[in-house]
Amino acid sequence: MTRVQSDARTDVLVIGGGIIGLAVAWRAAQRGLRTAVVDPSPGGGAGQVAAGMLAPVTELQYGEEPLLRLGMASNERYADFAAELTEASGGQDTGYRWCGTIAVALDSDDREELRELHAFHRRLGLDSTWLTGREARRLEPMLAPGVRGALHVADDHQVDGRRMLRALLLACERAGVLIHRAEAVELLVEDGRATGARLGTGETVAADRIVLAAGPHSHRLAGLPEGVLPAIRPVKGQILRLRIPDAYRPFLSRNVRAVVRGQHLYLVPRENGELVIGATTEEQGYDTTVTAGGVYELLRDAHELVPGITELPLVETSAGLRPGSPDNAPLLGPTALPGLVAATGHYRNGVLLTPVTADLVSEYLATGELPDLAQPFTPTRFSPDRSTTKASA
């Protein structure tokens, strides 16, 4: 056991300065908590490659209604969150765009599936409108002529993950969050309570509460007692960035998505002329290599949906790792280890879920009460013996 020594008292130490960790740290500092973040490259992580779709309705899958509620709650907060962040960061734009999303069917099987999704939306009282292929092309003339039908969801929008990260880092610094540019190599536990972290520099940082927000690395932290956190799988996504020259604008006016050959595909047109095309879904460990096959499949499928993309300059290919929990829903709130709080496992929705995660986790940090909205997502749902598990602040 390492006795932790630190001069300056820290209320909250956030391990991982990706989009989730930074947002939690910013909100915690706003609540008056002395907050620090440890990350070798703060402002990095999967948010740097993410498409930034804010799409709780078009991403909805059967059986994920609690996640839908969380996603909708976050989506509703986004406009205010983005505006507040811009202000707090000294004017950084987040690329938040109120644009809506269209989910497109390319053949009759897709059309049947989309019809079922539409019926599901209606049963849940969600706002989505059925369009014929012709109506869809009237909205988005660059869609392939063979489009068989579409769902228009006016409330699924977009934000730019890279700009959000830049703004969050600045907002944290301006709010007094101490940023340690180092890796946390060990969680320190004293008398059955998390008390701090040892950094790669050899330094230790003590804190009353530790927030684990290290994405797909969260469960790998040395010192973490067994059974406190399930494995967070790294789910690789390859993604492309194209540029829409002025002469081609508006190329697309809203997010476009479809299922092509069984794979989810989306095109996200940003206001600055960037067109993001994503993404592959691959489970093969901590590998972020961009492959010829991945790029080929994305371009082939996107070309089927919007043939005109072949005219556009391809400016970037990249890959990142989505942090997937065993049930693909996030882990929010206290763990079975007193003093340790989780904010991880956001899988394919981490950008969408940033505002709500920051609000719920900072509320818990400030008051010791976890709001009802977060209750279905407590990490103790994965504890081996839930009956004897007592989550603690």
Which of 33, 38, 211, 242 lies at the binding interface for ligand FAD (CB under 6 A)? Answer: 38
According to DSSP, the residues that pair with 147 across neighbouring strands are none
* Tokens (6 digits) for 173: 């610094």
The answer to whether 344 contacts ligand FAD (rule: CB under 6 A) is yes
Nearest approach, Cβ of residue 139 and ligand FAD (Å): 21
Instruction: Single out the segment in contact with ligand FAD by CB under 6 A; choices: 92-100, 117-125, 332-340, 350-358.
Output: 350-358
The answer to whether 336 contacts ligand FAD (rule: CB under 6 A) is no
The answer to whether 95 contacts ligand FAD (rule: CB under 6 A) is no
Torsion of CA 259, 73, 328, 319, to 10 degrees: 60
Question: Are the CB atoms for 233 and 216 separated by under 8 Å?
Answer: yes
The answer to whether 275 contacts ligand FAD (rule: CB under 6 A) is no
Q: Decide whether 334 or 350 has the Cβ nearer to ligand FAD.
A: 350
Q: Decide whether 115 or 175 has the Cβ nearer to ligand FAD.
A: 175
Q: Decide whether 143 or 165 has the Cβ nearer to ligand FAD.
A: 165
The answer to whether 56 contacts ligand FAD (rule: CB under 6 A) is no
The answer to whether 118 contacts ligand FAD (rule: CB under 6 A) is no
Size of the site for ligand FAD (CB under 6 A): 44
Instruction: Single out the segment in contact with ligand FAD by CB under 6 A; choices: 100-108, 129-137, 317-325, 370-378.
Output: 317-325
Nearest approach, Cβ of residue 80 and ligand FAD (Å): 18
Which of 12, 13, 19, 342 lies at the binding interface for ligand FAD (CB under 6 A)? Answer: 19
Which of 10, 12, 13, 15 lies at the binding interface for ligand FAD (CB under 6 A)? Answer: 15
Question: Which of 155, 98, 136, 84 shows the shortest CA–CA distance to 270?
Answer: 98
Nearest approach, Cβ of residue 264 and ligand FAD (Å): 11
Q: How far apart are CA 360 and CA 343, in angstroms?
A: 10
The answer to whether 85 contacts ligand FAD (rule: CB under 6 A) is no
Q: How far apart are CA 53 and CA 322, in angstroms?
A: 14
The answer to whether 234 contacts ligand FAD (rule: CB under 6 A) is no
Instruction: Single out the segment in contact with ligand FAD by CB under 6 A; choices: 82-90, 290-298, 318-326, 381-389.
Output: 318-326
Question: Are the CB atoms for 12 and 208 separated by under 8 Å?
Answer: yes
The 3-state secondary structure of the chain reads: CCCCCCCCCCCEEEECCCHHHHHHHHHHHHCCCCEEEECCCCCCCHHHCCCCEECCCCCCCCCCHHHHHHHHHHHHHHHHHHHHHHHHCCCCCCCCECCCEEEEECCHHHHHHHHHHHHHHHHCCCCCEEEEHHHHHHHCCCCCCCCCEEEEECCCEECCHHHHHHHHHHHHHHCCCEEECCCEEEEEEECCEEEEEEECCCCEEECCEEEECCHHHHHHCECCCCCCCCCCEEEEEEEEEEECCHHHCCCCCCEEEEEECCEEEEEEECCCCEEEEECCCECCCCCCCCCHHHHHHHHHHHHHHCHHHHHCCEEEEEEEEEEECCCCCCEEEECCCCCEEEEECEHHHCCCCHHHHHHHHHHHHHHCCCCHHHHHHCHHHHCCCHHHCCCCC
Which of 137, 209, 217, 270 lies at the binding interface for ligand FAD (CB under 6 A)? Answer: 217
Which of 13, 28, 36, 49 lies at the binding interface for ligand FAD (CB under 6 A)? Answer: 49
The answer to whether 163 contacts ligand FAD (rule: CB under 6 A) is no
Nearest approach, Cβ of residue 379 and ligand FAD (Å): 14
Which of 10, 13, 44, 105 lies at the binding interface for ligand FAD (CB under 6 A)? Answer: 44
Q: Decide whether 35 or 349 has the Cβ nearer to ligand FAD.
A: 349
Question: Are the CB atoms for 258 and 103 separated by under 8 Å?
Answer: yes
The answer to whether 167 contacts ligand FAD (rule: CB under 6 A) is no
Which of 10, 12, 13, 16 lies at the binding interface for ligand FAD (CB under 6 A)? Answer: 16
The answer to whether 100 contacts ligand FAD (rule: CB under 6 A) is no
Instruction: Single out the segment in contact with ligand FAD by CB under 6 A; choices: 10-18, 115-123, 307-315, 378-386.
Output: 10-18
Q: Residue numbers of the site for ligand FAD (CB under 6 A)?
A: 15-21, 38-41, 44-47, 49-53, 183-184, 213-217, 221, 237, 239, 278-279, 320-323, 344, 346-352
